[in-house]
Amino acid sequence: MLVVIVRTIIIFAFLLLGLRLMGKRQLGELQPFEFVIALAVADLACLPMQEVSIPLQYGLAPVFTIFLLHFIVTFVSVKSVKFRKLLNGKPVIVINSGGIDSRAMKSLNMNVNDLLESIRGAGYFSVEQIAFAIVETNGKLSVLPKDGAQAPVSIPLTLITDGKLLSANIAISDTGESEISEILKAQGLNPKNVVLMTAENGRYFIQPEGKPFVTLNRL
Amino acid sequence: MKRQAVNVLTVVIIAVILLTGGILEEIYIANTLDGFAEKFVEFEKTETESGYDIGKLEEIYSWWETRHKALEMLIPHTQINEIESTFGELKGAVRANDTKSAHAFIVRLQLTVEAMADMYVLRIGNVL
């Protein structure tokens, strides 16, 4: 039983570390350590249930060890802000007044498509509508809408994400690759340095890497 | 505040049960398996020209049967069954006065028990 207890503690710690390194895309509504518990307990409980040759304590000891770890982790994280940050990370601002913060996105292992999906989930279809967006420690996106920002009349078509031209979308848009290159050239940009470019009803949204976004109307 | 005190108490009780249970279990497994191996050292001394003492072997088996039931709650049954089947073969060999085979089964039992005892000790090799 002692071996099982020590192994459970080690696996718990490594699962937690793995999830923290993965970023916040996998979580949903749970904090990383709660997700670890959900992952581990389900399997632990099943093993002795199905296999009668395994003593029940092989399931009970790890489950109770995890319960203890959960209590200790919760208790310490309530007492210490530093520990809480280490355990769950901290909320990260991914959209600010300059648009998408690519450095913050990289720190979360998040790509532009993940972000666009999350903001759509929050009810917004354009980055321009958002003053601030924060990825919470449980992976959820919280959005502060921009005052007076108009919602797009149609769904913006993504032409470039993370420096890559999306040929399929370009083919169905009324903007060709050469036109995109010209627009970007006029702004002193290279497609490789563009985090996001969308077209919607004759209006372009361009988010260069490390610079504030630009909006242009088609001439 | 009262609720938190109850939670802390629950956690402390569970921690104590787990650790005490773990330590007692380790002691019980080690004592049982070491005792089992020792009984075979004694048993080997009963060898005469006409073979081993079947009465002594039955005594060891009765002792093992009582411990067997408790061990089932602590370690996977497959490992206990391995001892059980080797014991059965040993009984057969002793009854048939096949001393050579009996000796081989005794060595096998001793090594199996030794390996099993080592498997449940808290040490880095078992943890990793």
Residue that is last in its domain, among A55, A88, A121: A88
Q: What is the pLDDT of residue A20?
A: 66
Token pair belonging to A104: 């913050």
How many residues comprise chain A?
Answer: 219
Residue that is last in its domain, among A28, A54, A88: A88
A146 and A84 co-located in one domain: no
CATH of the domain at A188: 3.30.240.20
CA distance A111 to chain B (A): 36
A161 and A126 co-located in one domain: yes
Contact between chains at A3 and B15 (C-beta distance less than 8 A):
no
The mean pLDDT value for A92-121 works out to: 91
A52 and A101 co-located in one domain: no
A69 and A96 co-located in one domain: no
A83 and A103 co-located in one domain: no
Distance CA A205, CA A192 (A): 16
> Does A202 or A144 have the greater pLDDT score?
A144
Using the structure block, give the residue that is written with the tokens 């006065």.
B97
Overall number of domains in chain A: 2
Q: What is the pLDDT of residue B9?
A: 86
A25 and A54 co-located in one domain: yes
The CB density around residue A210, as the number of other CB atoms within 10 Å, is 10
Residues of B in contact with A2 (CB under 8 A): 19, 22-23, 25-26, 122
Q: Is B42 helix (H, G, I), strand (E, B) or coil?
A: helix
Distance CA B70, CA B85 (A): 18
Q: What is the pLDDT of residue A24?
A: 55
Average per-residue pLDDT in chain A?
A: 85
How many residues comprise chain B?
Answer: 128
The mean pLDDT value for A102-111 works out to: 88
Residue that is last in its domain, among A36, A62, A88: A88
Say if residue A6's pLDDT is above 90: no
Q: Is A122 helix (H, G, I), strand (E, B) or coil?
A: coil
Q: What is the pLDDT of residue A72?
A: 86
| Complex confidence, ipTM | 0.71
The mean pLDDT value for A144-161 works out to: 88
A60 and A162 co-located in one domain: no
Token pair belonging to A57: 């304590």
Q: A104 lies in which domain range?
A: 92-217
Q: What is the pLDDT of residue A29?
A: 63
Contact between chains at A2 and B75 (C-beta distance less than 8 A):
no
Q: Which of A180, A217, A178, A174 is nearest to A197 (CA)?
A: A180
**Helical segments of chain A, H only:** 2-22, 32-50, 57-79, 81-88, 102-107, 112-121, 167-172, 177-186
Instruction: Tell me whether A71 touches chain B (CB under 8 Å).
Output: yes
pLDDT one digit per residue (tens) for chain B, 128 residues: 677 788 788 888 888 998 999 899 999 999 999 999 988 888 888 777 777 888 888 999 999 888 888 888 888 888 888 999 999 999 999 888 888 898 899 999 999 999 888 888 888 888 88
A121 and A183 co-located in one domain: yes
Instruction: Tell me whether A13 touches chain B (CB under 8 Å).
Output: no
Query: What is the H or E stretch that residue A23 is in?
Result: none
How far CA A147 is from CA of A83, A97, A131, A150, B118, in Å, comes to 36, 12, 8, 9, 69
How far CA B117 is from CA of B35, B36, B37, B124, in Å, comes to 11, 11, 10, 15
Q: Is B70 helix (H, G, I), strand (E, B) or coil?
A: helix
